Amino acid sequence: MFRNYLKITLRNLWKNKSYSFINIFGLAVGLASCIVILLYVTNELSYDKHHKKADRIARVASFIDFSGSYLELATTSAPMGPTLKNDYAAVEDMVRFRPRGEFHVRSGDTNIKETDIIFSDPTVFNVFTIPVIHGDAETALLEPYTMAISKSKALKYFGKENVVGESLLLDDEHSYKITAIYEDMPPASHFNFEFLLSMETNSDEANNGVWLSNNFRTYLLLKEGTDLKAFEENFKSIKKTYVEPQLIQFTGNGLDEFEEAGNSLHYQLQPLTDIHLHSDLVAEFKPNGNINYVFLFSGLAAFILILACINFMNLSTARSVKRAKEVGIRKSLGSLRKQLVGQFFTESMLLCLFSFLIALLLVELTLPFFSNLSGTHLVTNYFSDSTLITSIISIVLITGLLSGSYPAIMLSGFKPIKVLKGAFQHKEKSKFRSTLVVFQFSVSLVVIIGLLVINKQLEFIQNQSLGFQKEQTIIVHDAYMLSSNLQAYKDQLLNEQEFKSSTVSSYLPVSGFSMNDQTFWPKGEDPIQGNNSSLQVWRVDEDYIPTLGMEIIEGRNFSKERGSDGNTVILNEALAQRFGFEDPVGEIITTFTQNPDGSFDNENLREFTIIGIVKNFHFRSLKENISPLGLFKGASRGNVIFKIDAKNASIALSKLENTWTEMAPGQPFSYSFLDDRFDQMYRSENRVSNLVFAFSVLIIVIACLGLFGLSAYSAEQRTKEIGIRKVLGANVAGIVSLVSRDFIKLILISFFIAAPIGYFIMQKWLTEFTYKTNIGFDVFLISGIGIIVIAVITVSWQSVKAALANPVKSLKSE
Amino acid sequence: MIQAKNLKKVYSTEEVETTALNNVNIEIKEGEFVAIMGPSGCGKSTLLNIMGLLDNPSDGEYHFLGHDVSNKTERERAQLRKGNIGFIFQSFNLIDELTVFENVELPLLYLGMSADERKEKAEAALERMSMMHRRNHFPQQLSGGQQQRVAIARAVVANAKLILADEPTGNLDSDHGNEVMKVLAELNEQGTTIVMVTHSPHDADYAMRVIHLFDGHVVTENMQEGFHV
Ligand SMILES: Nc1ncnc2c1ncn2[C@@H]1O[C@H](COP(=O)(O)OP(=O)(O)O)[C@@H](O)[C@H]1O
Ligand SMILES: [Mg+2]
């Protein structure tokens, strides 16, 4: 019996090649999208699960609302970890990480800038599963100036694996002895360190006991069965016992007063395996994933598959007249209904299987592209994960069942006498089909609307007046390496015609550069109860404002004279407003000084006179408000920034590099363009836009394939009617509109369903941005006209063919 | 074999109610060859479908092989039909995607026979209809008469006790028509009961008994005296 079904299926597929193509190809695309997304989701969900004790590890996060700035930190204070381990039996172990930025790592003549480098407690190998290949994990990081490095870095610097006992020189300053080599950390991890430096090296800060400064990523290994929520209760007594005394010392007030003044401080535990998808705090190790995107892409993939299944259902029921005869015959020969149901399911399963094989091929072909778009590293290792393989198999089975269900039930229900009467007059049961078409096009439209809004917002960001000029600006990194040649470097290049101006500063209005905030208040007010604000403190020179194209709207810029403007500040409008200065220039603001260990000294205050107001400029993502910022005259030698001539970027770059090699021999030269750095802040939005674009193309292609098939069928069914109409004098245009009209109506209905849904969803998405575009009429106009044009082309392809056919032929064949 | 008492069949559509059969009483014995005649639309096909268990009467009783089947479900009727009743249609109704052999074999598949048994029986049936040489052809490649012979082979392959033929020669020219009629008569000789709807008095001559229907009623029933062989 199965062979009989198989034969019928294959012969039918062969006979109706275009239907088969639409079905198999559509399902293959649907399945391929699902598989790719499953790989992506599996990868996202696998983060940090390779740590054997992952379910017992949690990170301490700090939430601080103080003087108008709210910080959600992935870090906490230095003493937090050791204190918790010491005071609570539930804490089996803890490890702290303290990044100190990038280092230049030297071995002999090789000197390379390394980013994945961190100070770590020696317990790192106990808490996390990081297999040590050479050296002793227990003792590796106990001593100052010792380091553990990854296998690939060992190979990179020494060309061999076992380099225990060798040394590396950091920033040409400190030599670290290598005590252990560990397996490279897997990519699906929220941190990927290549170098672990012993925390003991940095013992002053690590043991400083300052609770109010939060610079340490702290992970607890909890005893089996510890309830995180219950454990968090302990933070109350931690605050009381340890934090409050320092708060009193610093502000003169206790926790209660602190909170009454509208401030707050609390700590939370984040389960390790939740960090990647659920945590988006300040000072994450790297940009995390986003559970919403996991949902979004899963949803889109599911829709693609559903649309392909709908094509399958639509086309097979459209062809039911043909199949009905077979059903009638089989029934009259003794087939039971359930056998027919079985037959049609066998068919859809087989088709689905073909599609699956093609899908596997498509996945292989498109995965690198998708990995690139989504910024993940995906591999088709289907058997690595049992959930993955069972999910894929279930999806294939469900697809087969789903797409076979409607034809199986509908066709097997035909009454043989009706069908066998000779010419079977099949009353078009097209309502169901129309509903499915409307569904397909509504989904397509919602996706298109989404895509248009995302792109409109990205464009809005590009065109937003930022308050500074990001074009033609080159940032030369690590300017401090020029040491005493810095000024000469700048001067020499400014003599060249390509360079218009230049400034030296560590601070830039894009992410990835220094940020530094401190609390200020107007002179004479109470720092805690009164008018205070946290303020970005940026140390810049007098060329900063002109080079970056910022605008002074009141007062003046810093003057060129060395040593002048020592206690002055240029504020942005945000702070001037916040402090309510009527005429800010000349007013004085005050702050604490800071001790070398990072704690605050509230005895010695510093005062700054406002000399100018700079027009607000965006220095963080447009998702955030412009917060108070002050430019202070002072040395911060992170970067030299050059404004260049538009035409000569490549000449300028080679001059920058050549001069660098002369003046900082042996030091690596690195640079970036300010506008690239700006774009990077919206990388995740750009990625989503690209992915949604790819998916929407697929969705539209599949919906159109279905429409194409249906209109072909409808034209075929109406050949005779069209023939008669032509004989009676109808013209081609009339006939095209006759055949297309019904479909266009469906597309219009889809539009009215999709528009409000799309509007609602995208309105929600836009709330993420403080500075946002509006979803205008244009979005709906473009999406509506676009889809109608696509649909008309798809449909009229067939109807024009039908209309042009010679009527004599179609009438004779009846 | 067949007893029908007061059979009634009413088709109701949204607009009209059509009484296709009214008060039909018929008895057919094993081994008979019965022809049903009457003008178009008088209910011949309806009667045949009820006899063939493809449809239920609206009223009245119908006994087939001693079972009262007037009110059986579709499923039960399908079970009883299997292997007992063979159909022959005016439009042949072969499955285009299956070869001659596969079409003939189909009823045996539904009876759950083994491949060897199926092969043996299907080949025997084709042999009987002199269609063996065409076993691997598809229906579209055959003439109408040949297609109908394949359809007959399919009807008899499972040794059906009753063959129901609805205008079996309706789509054929007279030569091919005669061929088909001869085959049916032969089958009847060998013991198969045959009920055939026809418009042609010539074809009806092959039958032992002719039932005339008019507007859903049996008008006359007459035994044929010296029918052709
Ligand atoms: N499925 C049906 N629905 C409604 N009326 C039907 C149906 N089948 C047959 N009829 C009507 O019943 C009557 C008898 O039909 P039928 O048995 O096919 O006639 P015959 O085979 O004698 O030409 C006709 O009037 C026909 O229109
Ligand atoms: Mg009839």
What pLDDT was estimated at residue A195? 96
Atom of ligand 1 nearest to the CA of B9: 12
What pLDDT was estimated at residue A399? 86
- CB of B135 closer than 6 angstroms to any ligand 1 atom: no
Q: What is the mean pLDDT of residues A513-523?
A: 78
If you take atom 27 of ligand 1, which residue's CA is the nearest one?
B41
pLDDT digits (tens, 9 = 90+) for A346-393: 888 888 999 999 999 999 999 998 888 877 888 887 877 788 889 889
Give the domain ranges of chain A.
Answer: 68-226
What pLDDT was estimated at residue A596? 62
Task: Compute the distance between CA of residue A203 and CA of residue A219 in angstroms, rounded to an integer.
Answer: 18
> In chain B, what residues touch A326 (CB-CB under 8 Å)?
95, 97
Q: What percent of chain A has pLDDT over 90?
A: 33
Lowest mean pLDDT among A91-95, A491-495, A722-726, B82-86: A722-726
What pLDDT was estimated at residue A421? 63
pLDDT digits (tens, 9 = 90+) for A135-187: 999 999 999 999 999 999 999 999 999 999 999 999 888 999 999 999 999 98
Residue A717 near residue A788, CB atoms below 8 Å: no
Most confident residue range from A399-413, A570-584, B29-43, B87-101? B29-43
Q: For residue A43, what are the contacts with CB-CB under 8 A and spacing of at least 6? A: A188, A376, A377, A378
Asked if the Cβ–Cβ distance from A333 to B49 is below 8 Å, we say no
Terminal Cα-to-Cα distance of chain A (whole angstroms):
34
pLDDT at A723 over 80: no
Asked if the Cβ–Cβ distance from B95 to A8 is below 8 Å, we say yes
What pLDDT was estimated at residue A529? 63
pLDDT digits (tens, 9 = 90+) for A784-810: 888 888 888 888 777 777 777 766 555
Dist. CA A753 → ligand 1 center (Å): 44
Q: What percent of chain A has pLDDT over 70?
A: 94
If you take atom 20 of ligand 1, which residue's CA is the nearest one?
B41
What pLDDT was estimated at residue A813? 41
Q: Is A193 exposed, middle or buried (0-12, 13-18, 19+ CB in 10 A)?
A: buried
**Alpha-carbon torsion (A213, A218, A222, A226), positive or negative:** positive
Q: Is the pTM of this model over 0.90?
A: no
pLDDT digits (tens, 9 = 90+) for A403-424: 888 778 887 887 777 766 654 4
Instruction: Identify the three-state secondary structure at position A142.
Output: coil
CA distance A11 to chain B (A): 6
pLDDT digits (tens, 9 = 90+) for B133-184: 999 999 889 988 899 999 999 998 988 899 999 999 988 888 888 988 998 9
pLDDT at A600 over 70: no
If you take atom 19 of ligand 1, which residue's CA is the nearest one?
B41
**Alpha-carbon torsion (B50, B52, B56, B62), positive or negative:** positive
Q: Is A437 exposed, middle or buried (0-12, 13-18, 19+ CB in 10 A)?
A: buried
Dist. CA A122 → ligand 1 center (Å): 92
Contacts for A755-763 with beta carbons within 8 Å, 24 or more apart? A755/A445, A755/A449, A755/A780, A755/A784, A757/A442, A757/A446, A758/A445, A758/A446, A758/A448, A758/A449, A758/A450, A758/A453, A758/A783, A759/A449, A761/A446, A761/A450, A762/A449, A762/A450, A762/A453, A762/A454
> In chain A, what residues touch B91 (CB-CB under 8 Å)?
420, 422
pLDDT digits (tens, 9 = 90+) for B179-199: 889 989 999 999 999 999 999
Q: Strand A600-614 to strand A568-572: parallel, antiparallel, or no bridges (unpaired)?
A: parallel
Dist. CA B88 → ligand 1 center (Å): 18
Residue A812: pLDDT band by 50, 70, 90 thresholds? very low
What pLDDT was estimated at residue A597? 60
Q: What is the mean pLDDT of residues B39-63?
A: 89
Q: For residue A275, what are the contacts with CB-CB under 8 A and spacing of at least 6? A: A47, A48, A59, A190, A284, A288
